[in-house]
Structure 1
Amino acid sequence: MTTPKPWLRNLVLVLTVLMGVGSATQSRINGSLSAAIGSGPHAAAISFGVGLLLLIVITLFRKDARQGVRRIATAVRGRELPWWGLLGGACGASFVLAQGVAVPFLGVAVLMTSMVVGQLLGSLAVDHFGLMGAPKKRITWMRGIGATLAILAVVLIGIDAGMDLEMVGLMLFSACSGFLLALQLGITGTVRSHAQDSISPSLLNFIVGFIILAAASLLSSALGWVDFTGFPTEWWLYLGGIIGVVYLFLIASVVRTIGVFVLSLALVGGQLLGSLIFDLASGHASWMLGVAAALAFVGITVAHLGSRAK
C-alpha cells in the first residue's frame, strides 16, 4: 500500500474538517425543520426518510450493494448476525431525534459538545466492556484524563446557560445519543463483515431508524405531545438526510488516507467549529461556550492519544 502524498493528505484533512462542519450543518437544518413544523420526532423522521430514499436509489444502481442486502438477509435468516446487529439504525435515529428536539432550545454548539462527549464515553465503554463484539481494552490514565476534561466542558456549558432542569435533560439526551453513536460504530462494523460492502449496512440502519422515528412521530401526535403543522415548503429543510448519507460515504472514502485517529479528531474539530459558527450567527454563542468547546476538543484529543498508547 503506497503512502499518500503530503498535499493529498492535507487536502483530505481539510475535507474531513469540512465534513465535521457538515455534521453541524445537518444539526442546524434538522433543528430548523423541527421549529418550522412544530415537531422534533416528525423532523427526525423526515430527515431519515429523505436519506433512506437516497440510499434506496443508490442500492438499485449498485450491484455490490444489492449483493450486500442479500448477504445480510441470509445472515439474519441463518442467525449468523446477532440480534443487536439490527439496532444500529436505532442508535443513529436517537442522534437525529436529538437534533430535532434539542437544537431549537440549546443551539447547535451545546448539542454537538454534549454529543461528542457522550460519544467519547461510549467509546470508552465499548473498549472497557468489549461491547458489540469489540475486543476489550484497558482504560489508560490519558483516556481517563481526556474523559474528565470533556465532562468538565459540558459542566461549563451548563453553568454558562444557568443549568435549568429542561436544559439538563436535553443535554443528557444529546450525550446519550452520542453514547449510542459509539455503539453504532461497533454494530455497523459487525453488519459490514457479513455484507462485505459499505452501502447495505447503511441502508439497514436507515430502514430501522426510519421505522422507529415514524412510529415515534405517530405516537407523539396521537398523545398530543407535538403540534405537527405539515410538510415544509422550503427545499433546504430537506437536506439534512442527504447530508447524513454523504457524510457516511465520505468517511468510508477518506479513512484509509488519514487513518482513524486523525479522522476522528478532524471530524470533532469540524463539528465544534461549525456549531460555534452557527451559534455566533444566531446570537446564541458566548465566550464560555467557546472555551467549553475548546476544552472538549482537548479532552477528546488526549483520550485518543491515550487509546494509542501501548
Structure 2
Amino acid sequence: MNRSTRTATLSWAALAVCSGFMIVTQVRVNGQLGAAIGDGYAAAVWSFGSGLVLLAALLPFSAKARASAAMVVRAVRAGSLRPWQALGGFGGAFLVLSQSVAASVTGVALFTIAVVAGQVAGGMSFDAVGLSPSGRRPVTTARAAGAVLVLAAAAVSLAGRADTGFPVWLLVLPLVSGVCVSWQQGVNGHVRAASSGYAATLFNFVTGTAVLLVALAVHAAGAGLPSHWPGNPLLYTGGVVGIGFIAIAVLAVRHLGVLVLGLCTISGQLGGAIVLDLALGPAVTAATVAGAGIALAGVAVASRGRLGSGPC
C-alpha cells in the first residue's frame, strides 16, 4: 500500500469511527422516542420513513440523483446486481426496530456491546465468503482472537446485570441486529458500485421502510397505534442521523471491507455509548465499562496490520 492509498484508507477509517458515534446517537434518540410513545414499532417507522422522505425529496431537483436511482433498476434487470443485494435496508430496519424496542431498557452502552458482538461475528463471516465488493478476506488468527475478545466483553457486561432482574433476552435483538448491520454494509457496497452512494442509501431506506411498515401493521392490529407523540423535536431526528452513517458505510466498505468497516464503527460506538450513558443515564456499571474496554482491545487485535498492508 503506497502512502497516498494508506492516507485515503485512514481517512475512510476516521469517517467510519465518526459514523459509529452517529449510530449510538440514533440508538439514544430512537430508544427514547419508542419509550415516550410506548410503541417501538411506530418509532422505528418514523426513523426510517423520515429518512426516506428526506432522500426522496432530492429526486425532483437532481437529474443526477434520478439517473443513479434508475441505474440500480437497470443493473438488477441486467443481472449485474442481484436482487437480494439491493435489500440492505432489511438489516437496517432490524437495527432500528431493536433500538426502539430495547435500548431504553438496556441502556445505550450495554445495547451497543451486544450489537458489537454481532457485528464482529458477522463481519468475519461475510468477509470470509466475499460478501462485499472487495471480495474475500481471510479469517486470520488475529481476527479470530479479536472476535473472541469482543464476545467475552459481552459476557462481562452481562455479568454486571445478572442480579438486577434485567431481561437478558432483550439483548438477542441487538446481537442479531449487529449481524444484520454487517450484512447491510456488505450488500450496500454492491449497490454503490453499480450506481452511486445516494442511490444505495435511497434503496436502503426504501426497503427498510417497507419492511417496518409491514411489521407496524401486524403489531397495530393487536395493540393499536400510539395516541401521544412527545413535543421534543430532537426525538424525531433518528432518520437524519441514519442517513449520515448509512451513507458513510456505503462509501467506505469498498475501501475497508466489511470487518474493518465494522471495527472502525465499533470504536466510535463504544466510546460514544459510554459517554451518552454517563451524561444521560441509565447508570453505567463497572462491568459495562470493563466490557467496553475488552471489546476495544478485541477491535485492536482483530484489525492489527489490516490498515497497513494489502490492497484496499
Same fold (TM over 0.5): yes
1:236 is aligned with what amino acid? Answer: L
1:129 to partner: Cα distance: 3.0
SS in 1 for 2:304: helix
> Which residue of structure 2 aligns with residue 180 of structure 1?
180
Output aligned runs, 1:109-188, within 5 Å: 109-131=109-131, 135-162=135-162, 167-188=167-188
Bigger shift: 205-214 or 121-130?
121-130
Which deviates further from its counterpart, 149-158 or 261-270?
Answer: 261-270
Tell me how far 1:12 sits from its aligned partner: 8.5
Once the 2 structures are TM-superposed, how far is the Cα of residue 288 of structure 1 from its aligned partner? 1.2
- Indicate yes or no: 2:192 matched with 1:214: no
For the 8 Å contact 2:120–2:263, the answer to whether it is kept is: no
Aligned residues: 306
Change (3 A) 1:264 1:86: closer
The separation in 1 between residues aligned to 2:253 and 2:137, in whole angstroms, is 22
Q: Secondary structure of 1:305's partner? A: coil
Letter in 1 for 2:214: A
Q: Which has the higher helix share?
A: 1
From 235, 245, 268, give the equivalent of 1:237: 235
Quickly say closer, same or farther: Cα 1:284–1:206, change in 2 above 3 A.
Answer: same
Instruction: Give matches, 1:187-226, under 5 Å.
Output: 187-195=187-195, 197-224=196-223
Q: Which amino acid aligns with 1:64?
A: K
TM-score (norm 1): 0.86
Moved more, 130-139 or 18-27: 130-139
Alpha-carbon spacing, 1:16–1:139, altered in 2? closer, same or farther (3 Å): closer
Letter in 2 for 1:63: A
From 267, 270, 285, the equivalent of 1:269 is 267
8 Å CA contact 2:133–2:189 kept in 1: the answer is no
Q: 1:283 to 1:192 in 2, by over 3 A?
A: closer
Q: What amino acid is the match of 2:286?
A: W
Please report the TM-score for the alignment, with normalisation by the length of structure 2.
Answer: 0.86
User: What amino acid is the match of 1:269?
Assistant: S
Conserved? CA contact 2:22–2:244, under 8 Å? no
Shift in CA distance, 251/130, structure 1 to aligned 2, threshold 3 Å: closer
Q: CA separation in 2, counterparts of 1:123 and 1:71?
A: 28
Q: Is the 8 A contact 1:114 1:175 kept in 2?
A: yes
RMSD: 3.2
Determine the C-alpha separation between the residues in 2 that align with 1:24 and 1:243.
10
Aligned partner of 2:92 in structure 1 is 92
Structure 1 letter corresponding to 2:216: S
Percent same amino acid among aligned pairs? 32
Between the aligned partners of 2:300 and 2:170, the Cα distance in structure 1 is 25
Query: Do 1:13 and 1:266's aligned partners in 2 also have CA atoms closer than 8 Å?
Result: yes
Whether contact under 8 Å (1:89, 1:208) holds in the other structure is yes
Residue 138 of structure 1 aligns to a residue in which SS? coil
